[in-house]
């Protein structure tokens, strides 16, 4: 393996083994690499500053197991020591050399039950040889040999003296990708004489290499990250032996627009693939039964969508849908960032600095997203927060400062502010937000809004009535109490369940208001902080960002007062007239209420 990074500490936090297991199935490694990239970045966010040498996957895992295409990914990031960006480029180059760029042409060959011709295989061989380069010896100990398949490719130097130490990198890649549907069995020149190898799945072996590689991880294991193929999403008939009749139901999904070959029944091809999926599902059930993997947090299963969508779960080759898959996986990562952050805590130590958040040390074990380091890194963590927009729909929003005439200027400013703020929020992988008002549906806020268009639509519904007989005050404290109480209630309800407690998303409340509160928001924040201290909750679980609409100096002083004093670090203030929302100010709005230290890192003079 390539040498570890020097000087900076990338060792296991608890001194235990860190294992990565990569499932096989089709030629679908892109999504795995996107997820592995997210894990690696989360580890770097904990362990490195941006100017430091950044960790690569082989530096945060002690052993990497791979089956089939998972074996190829294991070679790329393990034996060759590539970072994920480079590994993705090399993976795409190999896939294109083998499958070309035309899905219809590939499907025509596949459905005709033909393997690739000699010219295509030679092109693929050349691409593999170019990738392997001077990295000749592999130092691997294949668990299975002869025609039973290359099931596992463990990547640790201790195998140098194994019976298979003569294997070359080129041979391992060719053997682990030798899927019978399009490539012949591979007899490595450097391997045992007369023995051929196939892709493990097509040789009747497991797609999931976890248990097959047990002898390598069954020792002092701290975490085993298993990246799957989303096969759990395929609803197979509940029977031991699948038939062509079962497979026929999946024909349209498998073809995905490709024409059938009239000479060959599509279900014959589909049946083979469904049997692999069935094997994968059963194998993972056995994985979960492993005693060492039953300890809390040891087994971390990640099952991202490695095809364009779950309807395309039977898609064999991912490079034909690269953009669609990247979008799907990024959405999946955004929804599962809390688990990825938890994994990072098991891979590397947290490197603290004077810039890091410094919550009360006497707190319960909390969501690791609360300890991220810098604003530009924190943006990608925004998706782990429960974002709530609170809009002031008091009468003052549609009147002049002296309450002498109707004037909706501030309401329009609020609209001009909420639009860009919502756009910015969703562009940073937040999948949904809640939205409440000080009057309109105050006890029944809008939940799970998923795009800026609907944020603006809801905003327009709450316009204050132009009626002096229905004056609407500014109960900022009461509305904050409603949402803060919800957040604290969730924290309190899971105090005795540490795993669920650590999954709770922190709350980021963004309040757009123009006026002085008619109640006491500061008292609400003080009571909330005391409740959090009493139950040992991390202070960073709740943050409030006030966005002042209008330019009243009196209002500014009142709002600013809420960011001072004993509990003032819970809140932040930024003014906005809807026309001055620079990227810097948007960053301040979205992050200023999350961590008090963020406000020290951003140039406040430019924002106020």
In this structure, are residues 423 and 468 in contact, taking their beta carbons and an 8 Å threshold? no
Catalytic residue among 23, 62, 199, 514: 199
Q: Which helix (H) or strand (E) holds 66?
A: strand 63-66
401 carries an active-site annotation: no
Report the SS3 class of residue 488: helix
In this structure, are residues 172 and 152 in contact, taking their beta carbons and an 8 Å threshold? no
Which alpha helices (DSSP H) does 541-582 contain, by range?
553-561
Largest CA distance in the chain: 96
Token digits of residue 29 = 């490694």
323 carries an active-site annotation: no
- CA dist 315 and 309 (Å) reads 10
| Contact residues for 23 (Cβ-Cβ < 8 A; gap 6+) | 67, 68, 70, 207, 208, 209, 226, 227, 228, 229, 231, 280
Neighbour-count burial of 291, counting CB atoms closer than 10 A to its CB (0-12 exposed, 13-18 middle, 19+ buried): exposed
Gap between the terminal Cα atoms of the chain = 52
| Contact residues for 281 (Cβ-Cβ < 8 A; gap 6+) | 231, 232, 234, 236
Report the SS3 class of residue 150: strand
Catalytic residue among 68, 396, 417, 552: 68
Q: Can you spell out the DSSP letters for 6-63?
A: SSS--S-TTS-EEEEEE--SSB--HHHHHHHHHHHHHHHHHH--TTSPPP-HHHH-SE
In this structure, are residues 66 and 176 in contact, taking their beta carbons and an 8 Å threshold? yes
Q: For 99, phi and psi rounded to 5 degrees?
A: -105, -10
- CA 110, distance to chain mean position in Å, is 33
In this structure, are residues 208 and 285 in contact, taking their beta carbons and an 8 Å threshold? no
Token digits of residue 15 = 């001194």
In degrees, rounded to 5, the angle at the alpha carbon of residue 388 between the alpha carbons of residues 455 and 358 is: 145
Token digits of residue 455 = 């944020």
Question: Tokens 């040999």, residue?
Answer: 145
Question: Which residues does the annotation mark as catalytic?
Answer: 68, 199
């Amino acid at each position: 393996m390539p040498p570890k990074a020097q000087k900076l500490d990338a060792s296991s936090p608890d001194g235990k083994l860190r294992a990565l297991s990569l499932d096989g199935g089709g030629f679908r490694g892109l999504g795995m690499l996107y997820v592995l990239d997210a894990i690696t970045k989360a580890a770097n966010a904990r362990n490195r500053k941006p100017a430091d040498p950044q960790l690569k996957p082989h530096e945060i895992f002690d052993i990497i197991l791979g089956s089939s295409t998972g074996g190829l990914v294991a070679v790329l990031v393990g034996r060759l020591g590539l970072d994920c960006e480079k590994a993705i480029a090399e993976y795409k180059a190999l896939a294109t050399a083998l499958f070309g760029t035309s899905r219809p042409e590939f499907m025509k060959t596949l459905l005709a039950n033909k393997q690739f011709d000699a010219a295509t295989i030679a092109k693929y061989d050349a691409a593999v040889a170019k990738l392997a380069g001077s990295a000749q010896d592999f130092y691997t100990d294949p668990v299975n040999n002869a025609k039973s398949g290359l099931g596992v490719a463990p990547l640790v130097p201790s195998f140098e003296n194994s019976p298979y130490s003569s294997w070359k990198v080129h041979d391992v890649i060719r053997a682990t990708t030798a899927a019978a549907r399009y490539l012949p069995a591979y007899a490595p020149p450097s391997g045992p004489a007369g023995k051929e190898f196939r892709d493990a799945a097509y040789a009747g072996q497991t797609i999931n290499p976890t248990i097959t590689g047990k002898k390598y991880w069954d020792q002092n294991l701290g975490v085993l990250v298993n990246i799957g193929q989303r096969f759990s999403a395929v609803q197979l008939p509940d029977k031991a032996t699948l038939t062509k009749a079962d497979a026929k139901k999946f024909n349209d999904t498998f073809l995905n627009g490709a024409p059938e070959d009239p000479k060959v029944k599509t279900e014959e091809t589909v049946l083979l693939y469904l049997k692999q999926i069935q094997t994968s599902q059963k194998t993972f059930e056995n994985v979960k039964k492993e005693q060492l993997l039953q300890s809390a947090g040891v087994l971390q299963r990640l099952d991202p969508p490695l095809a364009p969508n779950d309807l395309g779960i039977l898609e064999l080759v991912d490079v034909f849908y690269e953009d669609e898959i990247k979008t799907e996986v990024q959405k999946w990562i955004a929804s599962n960032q809390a688990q990825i952050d938890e994994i990072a805590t098991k891979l590397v130590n947290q490197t603290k600095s004077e810039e890091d958040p410094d919550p009360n040390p006497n707190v319960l074990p909390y969501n690791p997203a609360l300890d991220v380091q810098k604003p530009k890194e924190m943006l990608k963590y925004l998706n782990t927060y429960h974002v709530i927009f609170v809009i002031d729909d008091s009468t003052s929003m549609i009147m002049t400062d002296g309450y002498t005439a109707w004037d909706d200027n501030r309401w329009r400013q609020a609209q001009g502010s909420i639009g860009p703020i919502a756009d910015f929020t969703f562009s940073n992988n937040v999948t949904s937000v809640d939205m409440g008002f000080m009057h309109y549906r105050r006890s029944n806020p809008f939940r799970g809004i998923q795009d800026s268009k609907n944020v603006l639509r809801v905003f327009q519904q709450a316009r204050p009535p132009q009626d002096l007989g229905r004056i609407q005050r500014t109960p900022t404290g009461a509305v904050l109490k409603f949402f803060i109480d919800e957040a604290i209630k969730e924290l309190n309800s899971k105090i005795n369940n540490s795993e669920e407690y650590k999954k709770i998303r922190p709350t980021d409340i963004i309040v757009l208001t123009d006026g002085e509160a008619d109640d006491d928001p500061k008292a609400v924040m003080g009571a909330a902080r005391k409740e959090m201290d009493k139950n040992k909750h991390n202070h960073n679980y709740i943050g409030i960002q006030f966005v002042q609409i209008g330019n009243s100096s009196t209002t500014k002083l009142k709002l600013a007062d809420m960011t001072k004093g004993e509990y003032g670090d819970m809140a932040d203030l930024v003014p906005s007239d809807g026309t001055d929302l620079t990227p810097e100010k948007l960053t301040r709005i979205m992050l200023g209420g999350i961590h008090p230290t963020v406000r020290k890192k951003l140039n406040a003079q430019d924002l106020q």
